[in-house]
Amino acid sequence: MTNKSKQKIIIDTDPGIDDAMAIHMAFADPRLDVVGLTTIFGNVNVDEATRNALYLAEQAHYKLDVARGAEVPLVQVPNTPSYHVHGDDGFGDLPAQSPKQAPHALDAADYIIQTCRAHSGEISLCPVGPLTNIAIALQRDPDLVNHVKSVVIMGGAGFVPGNVSDYAEANIWNDPHAADIVFAAEWEVVMIGLDVTTQVMITPPEYKSIADASGPIGKFIYDISAFYTRFYATIYHDDVCVLHDPCAVIALTDPHLFEYRKMPVHVICDGPAIGQTVPDASLPRHAAKIAIGVDVDAVKAHYLDLSKMADDKTADRQKAV
Ligand code: BDR
Ligand code: CA
């Protein structure tokens, strides 16, 4: 596949264990051209997210831009990063790494605007963290909606309870005002939320199969999964990892693996339900596509197959230099 026929995406991310899994999977997918990673606070702070994103790109010898994003939410006081879910440095038990590359000169919002305008109609945005960078980009350039191909987010809970409160999913809860701006914009948001991601669980033997089938990246994925599994064991009383962020990337490449309901969404920005994503057919807003069903076996197989290819694809890129 030539770079021209690949689908161009920018992943906006707070790596983060499942972010790292999504990014390595995207790097391995021959149908994708990951143009850039833009970073955001959430699982870790934005400097840690930027360092981790640069490291993931270096690990995979993937040439792309990494643009540092917002440090804090638009309005609310920042929540504490989710170190208890993703580890002190974002990659579980693994220590922080020091990448050699520096971030892009533009901040994430300007990078998104400039890159989407330069490739008008060709780039899909795949935010898998709080939506602050995307909201800032929309505030700076409302016409951005006409230059982006599609927006597929990991975030929200349409018809199921939240994961940080009874109402809210973590990415939306970390910046509800930003999320509401993104849902209010004149574009179609595909919402890959807890309704579907919590159905897709990977077990330790399945992660081990990635490590056994491949080299250092496969081993890295297996290693970082251990911390995440320990966290989810406290919730599900079983050894499983919930595959949140990879689901959003898969929804972008393979939308037919999900079932959707089209409805406008607004986000609660204060009170006990802060961060709740509320589907409301009566809202005078562009309808979002809310994923409500998923072909669990197909999504898992897709994730595992691509992750097992991560090291081979990296070797191919090294040879090509
Ligand atoms: C989301 O929150 C973060 O912990 C994960 O990376 C994912 O993007 C799940 O609620
Ligand atoms: Ca994330």
At residue 76, does pLDDT exceed 70? yes
Ligand 1: centre distance to CA 2 (Å): 32
Chain segment 86-105, per-residue pLDDT in tens: 999 999 999 999 999 999 99
Q: To the nearest whole percent, how much of the chain has pLDDT over 70?
A: 99
Report all structural domains of the chain as residue ranges with CATH numbers, in order of start: 3-320 (3.90.245.10)
Instruction: Count CB neighbours of 78 within 10 A.
Output: 14
Residues with Cβ < 8 Å from 136, sequence gap 6 or more?
70, 74, 108, 109, 178
Q: Which protein residues touch ligand 1 with a CB less than 6 Å away?
A: 16, 18-19, 43, 82, 85, 128-129, 154, 163, 169-171, 244-245
203 vs 20: CA distance, rounded Å? 17
Structure token digits, residue 278 = 């509320």
At residue 1, does pLDDT exceed 70? no
Q: What is the band of 2 on the pLDDT scale with cuts at 50, 70, 90?
A: low
Residue of 86, 244, 256, 286 with catalytic role: 244
Chain segment 280-318, per-residue pLDDT in tens: 999 999 999 999 999 999 999 999 999 999 999 999 999
Instruction: Please give the pLDDT value at position 237.
Output: 84
Average pLDDT over residues 128-156: 98
At residue 184, does pLDDT exceed 80? yes
Chain segment 228-286, per-residue pLDDT in tens: 999 998 988 889 899 999 999 999 999 999 999 999 999 999 999 999 999 999 999 99
pTM, entire model: 0.97
- The alpha helices in the chain, defined as continuous H runs, are 17-28, 46-59, 83-86, 108-118, 132-140, 170-174, 176-184, 194-197, 204-213, 216-236, 244-253, 296-320
